[in-house]
Structure 1
Amino acid sequence: MAEIVAGIGISHVPALGPAVEAAARGTDTNPGMKAFTEVGEWLADTRPDVVVMVYNDHGASFSFDLVPTFAIGAAEFYRPADEGFGRPPIAEYPGAADLSWHIVDQVVNDGFDLTVCQSLDVDHGFSTPMKVLFGAPANWPVKVIPLAVNVVQQPTPTARRCYDLGQAIGRAIASYPDDVRVAVVGTGGMSHQLQGERAGHINPDFDRQFLREIVEDPGNLASLSNPEYIHLAGSEGAELVMWLIMRGAMDEDVKQALSGYVVPVANTAAGVVAMQNLA
């Protein structure tokens, strides 16, 4: 049977990749970067076969004219998106199409209507965490399932809806008959706002609370409304609801393996947390 062997929440700001490289070289001595440099090795030790990556598209594959609430990839491969500077020199990501279709079938029957993408380019919301976790290999060591979430145009899904979707995905993975080791990664955040009167908003107190409660009390985070997330974490910090899809897929009781927080990375607070099921 399939098994979720790791859950990771991680920011996807593009500046995070160079910051992690600098920390690995020893030129960035911020102690908060230590967890970012260690999370890839930790994940490798869990030996996942598939990574379910929960991220948001930034206009690469979807536009404001067509923004699905939840869209899942069900393709044999995914290309890195051209975000205005040409397609980056990143290897195509191999898909886990059979598991994707199983998740679709189970989750739709569970009451969640997913947009199914049999062709999908993935942008930095997807590629930045992959680089932090796996570097830039010629061939990726895992297959992937992208799950894009609308956190850019109202109405966006609530934290509770995201948490409930994660639980449905967890049940779907557990019912997959093949022996597959799955890591679920929720991306985005932490607190930041890129425009308006509150441009530059960062809330370290809330970010650290979120890092603690995503492990210990995700139900409280799921109870916060979208306006509360925007007030606390900024308009773009509201991306944190995607971490709740990851957490919902995990068991109620988990063990934290590592956690880290840095502020700022560019104009964004960045966090990482890794956990495993206790059972």
Structure 2
Amino acid sequence: MELSATFLLMGIPGLQSSYLWLAISLSAMYTISLLGNSFIMAIICMNSTLQEPMYCFLYVLAAVDIMASSVVPKMVSIFCSGDSSISFNACFTQLYFFHSTTAIETGLLLAMAFDRYVAICKPLHYNRILTSQVILKMCVTTVFRAVISMTPLIWMLSHLPFCGSTVVLHSYCEHMAVAKLACADPMPSSFYSLICSSIIAGSDVAFITASYVLILRAVFGLSSKNAQWKALGTCSCHVAVMALFYLPGVASIYVAWLGQDTVPLHTQVLLADLYLIIPPTLNPIIYGIRTKKIRERIWTLLMCLFFDHSNQGS
């Protein structure tokens, strides 16, 4: 493999006539994602009252979302200018970071579910269980798991010979789309990807589900209706974020494997693209609206900015 060689990203085959609208939509969502997640991170950093474990996990989640959506500008350039070339090294780097951030995000969602379990089911022991050392260990373990699981995948894929077509039938360097271009059998890396993704996501979903079953049992055991609604409201935004992440992700993975001959290629690519950008776009909106402390800080900050500019203008 020559280091100077390049792949050509196809975009979304069959939807070339919609590229302008796709570029506008992706640009808008990427802007919301970048500004929203940066805003969340800034608010958490600037407020000493937002140093609880949940906000620490939310801070890391926002940072991961920014990294996960960083491939969008390249996608937009394909739709706008047709600049589809990407070097082998850049392609495998993009692939590595995308799959790694996906693995990190599922671990963070599990950590956030555990945080809610402790807060609702064991409130008196909350500060003793979720210490700063425990939070750091959970975050480090999540990142370490992603690196350990994704490194062999990228190693196997990057060591395949690419001696034929270099046109990737996708908008970014998605694993299955790149593996299909290899001149050797890509099944080992593809099978590893499927098994690894299924184990990581499957185990996390199982533990998250168990956490929320215990949470619901504790919530409906509360005597106060107001306390029940408050706890359910807090958990509802977490469940919404998890649904936005897992449902399109699982659909994208298994459609690529099982629906290759039945699902149109442009549908597969579009589903993968939406899975890439929708969670980072909606996460800060959901948390900003549903989390009272963050909502209050956002409102205070906006009011300060608005009145400062008004006073300066007068």
- Fold in common (TM above 0.5): no
Question: Greater strand percent: which structure?
Answer: 1
Looking at CA atoms only, which structure, 1 or 2, has the larger radius of gyration? Answer: 2
TM-score between the two structures when normalised by the length of structure 1: 0.29
Question: Greater helix percent: which structure?
Answer: 2
Structure showing greater relative contact order (alpha-carbon pairs closer than 8 Å, 6 or more residues apart) = 1
